Amino acid sequence: MVRDPFADEDQPDLQEVLDALDDPKCRVIVRNLDEPMTAEQISEACDVPLSTTYRKLDLLTEASLLREGMEIRPDGQHASRYEVDFEEVVVQLAENRTFEVGISRVPRTADERLRDLWSEVRKET
């Protein structure tokens, strides 16, 4: 399931973030994603089997740590591209003694927001 890039920036589920960050292969993916890549490119760069890569990308996307966009190709065989969607993850103890997670993100430019919007439109068609 793809996180809605236009929804308010609700904070993600603490356990989803912790599970993703606890996973060694997820951390390898984040370290290697210095530019947007397809799952196949990530699999090759990280030396992780493609089926495992897809599971880890789902885990990272659900945790709001990666953003999924669409690479539009002239032949109609579009591909998802993934990029890191955070600068900092903070876990804190709230006043009511519960744990909360906060994610700091780099503000996106108008061009990036338009690209994300177009990607979502293409997924629906």
Residue 66 confidence (pLDDT): 95
pLDDT at 54 exceeding the cut of 60: yes
Token pair of 41 as six digits: 């490119």
Q: How many residues does the chain have?
A: 125
pLDDT at 37 exceeding the cut of 60: yes
Please compute the mean of the pLDDT values over residues 80-93 and round it to a whole number: 92
Q: What is the pTM of this model?
A: 0.75
